[in-house]
Amino acid sequence: MKPRLIIQKLREEASKFSEIESSYYESSLYGVTDGKAIGTYLEHKFTDYLTKLYDYEKGNSASGIDLPRLQVDIKTTSIKQPQSSCPFKSASQKVFGLGYHLLIFVYEKTDNHTNQTGCLNIQHTVFVEKKRTADFQTTKGMLDILERDGNKDDVIGFISERNLPVDEIGADQLADRILKSPPIQGYLTISNALQWRLQYRRVIQEAGTVSGVFKVR
């Protein structure tokens, strides 16, 4: 029987995997510049690595994330522009977080032209707890308003200024929720789009210095 995968072990294995992968040259990666293809390759390789060691539930289109039992989604991105997309569920994700943890592999790709192979040197591996996956500027601004005794009108005004994708009724309901349960400071940069655009420079910088954002490697 393989042991059940838990968050702590996931972070430990992500660290080991990152070290191994950073020195591995793969012929199928040679000349590949498509970030989505590289991400799919690395994420599948990591989940295959986990499958050999642990018992865990794999994600599917219904769950929407890679490790549903652990509530973790795996993201892979280039150091040149560390960002990716994720499904949009509601405007509240920008204030209260995505609703799941993120394990982020940030790579620098190099090609060996002599051997015609490619290598993904993983520069950073970061684990972000779901409580920290809200938008940095949105949560910072909202918390500043609340600290200055802001009321519901102030909160609704800020929601409008930040162009959160929500109608008047939704803004009113979101404001009530914020006043009742103030958000926790997030560390992602989340851009409005049909899908959320997540940017990771801040979590890379802050990893290991703030609670809930772990420098795995």
> Which residues are CB-contacts of 42 (< 8 A; sequence separation ≥ 6)?
21, 76, 105, 107, 120
Sign of CA dihedral 75, 77, 82, 88: negative
Taking the chain (217 residues) in runs of 10, the rounded mean pLDDT of each run is: 96 98 95 94 95 90 84 96 92 96 97 96 98 98 97 97 94 97 97 88 96 95
Can you tell me the distance from the alpha carbon of 189 to that of 203, in angstroms, rounded to the nearest whole number? 9
> Vertex 126, ends 2 and 29: CA angle to 5°?
80
At 62 the pLDDT is 64
170 closest CA partner among 181, 162, 161, 160: 160
Helix (H, G, I), strand (E, B) or coil at 178: helix
Helix (H, G, I), strand (E, B) or coil at 108: strand
- In the block, which residue shows the tokens 């002599």? 114
At 64 the pLDDT is 81
Can you tell me the distance from the alpha carbon of 205 to that of 141, in angstroms, rounded to the nearest whole number? 20
What domains, with CATH codes, occur in the chain?
A: 7-81+99-132+207-215 (3.40.210), 136-180 (no CATH)
At 61 the pLDDT is 62
